[in-house]
Amino acid sequence: MPFLSPPTSTHTPDAGRDAEPPSVDELAGEIAFASPEMQTQRLTELLGADALVVSIPDVKREWRGTLAERIEAAIDVALDARDAPGPGLDERWGLPTGTSRRLADQLFRARAAGCSGIALLCGSLSEIARPALTPADSETVRFLARATLDRPLVVLLDDADMMAPAYADPMPLRLLLGVDRGSDTVPTPVVMAARPAKLVSEDVHVHVHDHMHVHVHEAADVHDAPDHFVDVESDDALCDAETPDDDATDDVSDAAEARGATDDASDAADASDAADASDAAEASDAAEASDAADVRDDFVEEPEEPPATSRRPTKVDIASAMRAQLVLDPETDDDALAPQPEPIPVEHAPPAPAAEDPGLAVADLIAAAATPPQPAPRVVHVEPHAPVPSELPSAAEPPRPLEWRAWVADLAAARGPQPLAAFERLFVHAYMPLARAIEQGFDEPRALRAHEEFKRGFERAYVDACPTFGLTARRPRLVMDVHEVALKTARLHGARSGHIVIVDSLRFDLGCMVRARLEQKLAGHASLTDEHILWAALPTTTTRQLETIARGLESLRAPLESLDESVESLRGRAAEHVRRMRVGPRELHKLDYVASELAVARDRGPSPRSKGALSHDVTHADFDQVAERTAEILAAHLRPLPPRTLVVIAGDHGFTIDRGGHVGYGGATPEEVLAPAFSFLVGELH
């Protein structure tokens, strides 16, 4: 009996189609967009159908161009968790396999594990869709859409990505250049006014049902609540995805022969009729060639009023306009920042207006597509440093109507019991941006009313629920659970050592700014591994949170009447250092710089508009300086650490800022209760 043999498998990568599936009913394939509220309801349906649910809630910026590999890895992890059979021989021996064969192998393994199919729940693609999805990622999405037509695969995308720009199927180069078969030279294009070309959202059309009903249910354990799930109910069937035809060139050849026959017929007519017939024949041939090459009409719109030129615009003119309009904006495309070669000196149409804001909204893109280009070309200035994507708009940039109306609509739709994951998503993507805009002076009455109603409703509910956290396990992840979070994260990433840094008064939006700057400063030295939201116990003060860390659940059941004030935050220059301290039986590190900066104005004396000692003037312009300095201190703390050290950075509570610039803390508002937590692993990740 041989003691060393290659790995064996009972199936091949193609067995997903050929082998007889288990007795479980096969999952019906579909692809759809959905709002976040519908995702939880659809999750229940998919789990009830015995589907293998693969959730990818956070699509990170560094995934750009590698979406296919990330999805395959996530599916493999889910299969391993279900004790599914190993991959086929081709994958285990590293032999080349196609994407279709790998998906077939994964579907077979899921069916062998007793699942009805695979359900892929993908979060927002906005991080990898700026300025547009890469051709590789676009092909991945198109492939998944085609796979849902004949395979037990369900793909649910975030409805916020419906207008995300992406690339369609490739077209023959000679059609793009407008060169006829047999032509030796390329005709010189003439000046032509063309509208900006549209970037196709996706290769599959999805019809979203207008009336979507949310079914809210309570999870058995809020710690295991899903982060992000999507669902769309639709009465319309999905349109079949079109794929490139291998015989496109033959069809174009037939179109060319048909054009020749039409030209011969037009020569027999008189001169005036021949010109009209030639125009009609050439327009017809252009349409036939476009259909034969499977090119979508959404790429370019012809102008309603062609300019006065010496001759009629031809396919070469259209192709020239396409090339001019499909050039990516160098401000928003990382790959476009490299030096560009000098263009050939020919006459071109004026370029389309460049986007001044890298985060241009969907409404602005639609408006730009409907506006003819200006006669004078614009000069594009490339900024030396791109803005941090996680930062919210500054005071000089009030929210656009499309943005704040969406925030108000999401807050108004939040009625009744909500899953924990759905509420946290609502807080991150709707409440916090609206609260920050209001603090900066945004005074739209509808926005103020929606913000105030949501805040007051949360305060009443949390004040009633917080005393019950010590009596039941069904509670959110509190600040006192930070050591448990750190332990799970360290095991997940194979860390050798680690510790916790508590940043006093680190509010959620300020924490996002610190995290983004810390990623830039630690690039190549440490990597961001996880992000969480922690809930502060009442009252939301530093002393109370440290007490919960020291005493655990007992602090929730029987809070101390008098708290030790010796653990209060430091002030002055001493606050700019990360200090090590012991809280009960636990050790942690603490940074008091944020709390020290918030207390500077209070030490000077309360403002005349202030009604209490805890109020003082502060503006969001100070946030940038505080976030930058906090990131510098934390980066200096992480750099000397040995490799494979995990550092969890967490806030203990937040604070509020009213429209007059007064700061308050200790209450039960969402800004004060929900705090950020994120972890960095020192050293390069595999």
User: Looking at residue 568, what is its pLDDT?
Assistant: 65
Q: Which amino acid is at 349?
A: A
Would residue 398 count as lying in a domain? no
> φ, ψ for residue 334 (rounded to 5)?
-65, -35
Higher pLDDT, 263 or 30: 30
User: Looking at residue 40, what is its pLDDT?
Assistant: 75
User: Looking at residue 48, what is its pLDDT?
Assistant: 86
When pLDDT is cut at 50, 70 and 90, the band that residue 193 belongs to is very low
Burial of 141: CB neighbours in 10 Å, binned 0-12, 13-18, 19+: buried
Using the CB atoms, write b or e for 339-350: b if 16+ within 10 Å: eeeeeeeeebbb
| Category of 425 on φ-ψ map: left (φ > 0), alpha (ψ -120 to 50) or beta | alpha
User: Looking at residue 642, what is its pLDDT?
Assistant: 94
Return the SS3 of 680: strand
Cα(24)–Cα(113) distance, integer angstroms: 10
Highest mean pLDDT among 287-296, 332-341, 471-480: 471-480
CATH number of the domain within which 135 lies:
3.40.50
159-173, 372-386, 573-587, range with the lowest pLDDT: 372-386
User: Looking at residue 100, what is its pLDDT?
Assistant: 83
When pLDDT is cut at 50, 70 and 90, the band that residue 565 belongs to is low
What does the angle CA 119 – CA 124 – CA 128 come to, to the nearest 5 degrees? 115
Would residue 374 count as lying in a domain? no
> φ, ψ for residue 650 (rounded to 5)?
-140, 145
Would residue 275 count as lying in a domain? no
Angle between helices 508-521 and 621-638 (to 10 degrees): 50
Closest Cα partner for 73 from 87, 62, 61, 83? Answer: 87
How many Cα atoms are found within 13 Å in the side-chain-facing hemisphere of 229? 24
Higher pLDDT, 417 or 685: 417
Contact, 546 vs 567, CB < 8 A?
Answer: yes
| Rounded alpha-carbon distances, angstroms, from residue 493 to 108, 183, 306, 417, 479 | 29, 60, 61, 34, 22
Residue 463 has pLDDT above 90, yes or no: yes
Q: What percentage of the chain has pLDDT greater than the value 90?
A: 33
Residue 215 has pLDDT above 80, yes or no: no
Residue 557 has pLDDT above 80, yes or no: yes
Highest mean pLDDT among 226-235, 411-420, 566-575, 618-627: 411-420
Residue 178 has pLDDT above 70, yes or no: yes
When pLDDT is cut at 50, 70 and 90, the band that residue 478 belongs to is very high
Residue 168 has pLDDT above 50, yes or no: yes
When pLDDT is cut at 50, 70 and 90, the band that residue 198 belongs to is very low
104-113, 377-386, 426-435, range with the lowest pLDDT: 377-386
Handedness of CA 620, 622, 628, 633 (dihedral sign): negative
Highest mean pLDDT among 91-105, 569-583, 607-621: 569-583
Residue 475 has pLDDT above 60, yes or no: yes
Higher pLDDT, 586 or 279: 586
Higher pLDDT, 72 or 621: 72
User: Looking at residue 378, what is its pLDDT?
Assistant: 37
Handedness of CA 569, 574, 576, 579 (dihedral sign): negative
Task: Give tens-digit pLDDT for 314-338.
Answer: 544 544 544 444 444 434 444 433 4
Task: Give tens-digit pLDDT for 613-643.
Answer: 333 455 566 788 999 999 999 999 999 999 9
Residue 423 has pLDDT above 50, yes or no: yes
Where a domain ends, among 174, 191, 224? 224
Domain that holds residue 46: 15-166+201-224
Task: Give tens-digit pLDDT for 651-665.
Answer: 999 999 877 778 888
Angle between helices 401-413 and 445-465 (to 10 degrees): 40
Q: What percentage of the chain has pLDDT greater than the value 70?
A: 59
User: Looking at residue 491, what is its pLDDT?
Assistant: 93
Angle between helices 401-413 and 432-439 (to 10 degrees): 130
Higher pLDDT, 569 or 542: 542
> φ, ψ for residue 312 (rounded to 5)?
-75, 140
When pLDDT is cut at 50, 70 and 90, the band that residue 496 belongs to is very high
Region 664-676: mean pLDDT is: 94
Residue 289 has pLDDT above 50, yes or no: no
Cα(7)–Cα(95) distance, integer angstroms: 14
339-348, 503-512, 579-588, range with the lowest pLDDT: 339-348
How many Cα atoms are found within 13 Å in the side-chain-facing hemisphere of 244? 12
User: Looking at residue 515, what is its pLDDT?
Assistant: 96
Report the predicted TM-score, pTM, of the whole model to 2 decimal places.
0.47
The secondary element (H helix, E strand) that includes residue 372 is none
Would residue 74 count as lying in a domain? yes
Cα(74)–Cα(534) distance, integer angstroms: 25
Region 120-130: mean pLDDT is: 88
| Residue 297 CA to its chain's centroid (Å) | 28
Q: Where are the alpha helices (DSSP H) in 494-599?
A: 508-521, 542-551, 553-557, 593-598
- First CA to last CA distance, the chain: 37
Burial of 631: CB neighbours in 10 Å, binned 0-12, 13-18, 19+: buried
Contact, 209 vs 232, CB < 8 A?
Answer: yes
Region 476-500: mean pLDDT is: 94
Q: How many domains does the chain have?
A: 2
Mean pLDDT, rounded, of the chain: 71
Residue 236 has pLDDT above 80, yes or no: no
Burial of 137: CB neighbours in 10 Å, binned 0-12, 13-18, 19+: buried
> What is the CB neighbour count within 10 angstroms for residue 232?
21
Cα(110)–Cα(52) distance, integer angstroms: 7
Q: Which amino acid is at 580?
A: R
What is the token pair recorded at 275? 């010109």
When pLDDT is cut at 50, 70 and 90, the band that residue 295 belongs to is very low
Residue appearing with tokens 């007064």: 662
Would residue 640 count as lying in a domain? yes
User: Looking at residue 663, what is its pLDDT?
Assistant: 84
Residue appearing with tokens 């190549």: 524
**Number of residues in the chain:** 686
User: Looking at residue 551, what is its pLDDT?
Assistant: 92
Higher pLDDT, 194 or 181: 181
User: Looking at residue 532, what is its pLDDT?
Assistant: 95
Region 451-480: mean pLDDT is: 92
Burial of 222: CB neighbours in 10 Å, binned 0-12, 13-18, 19+: middle
The DSSP result for 305-346, as a single string, is S----SS---HHHHHHHHHHHSPPPTTT-GGGGSPPPPPP--
> What is the CB neighbour count within 10 angstroms for residue 106?
26
Would residue 437 count as lying in a domain? no
Burial of 268: CB neighbours in 10 Å, binned 0-12, 13-18, 19+: exposed
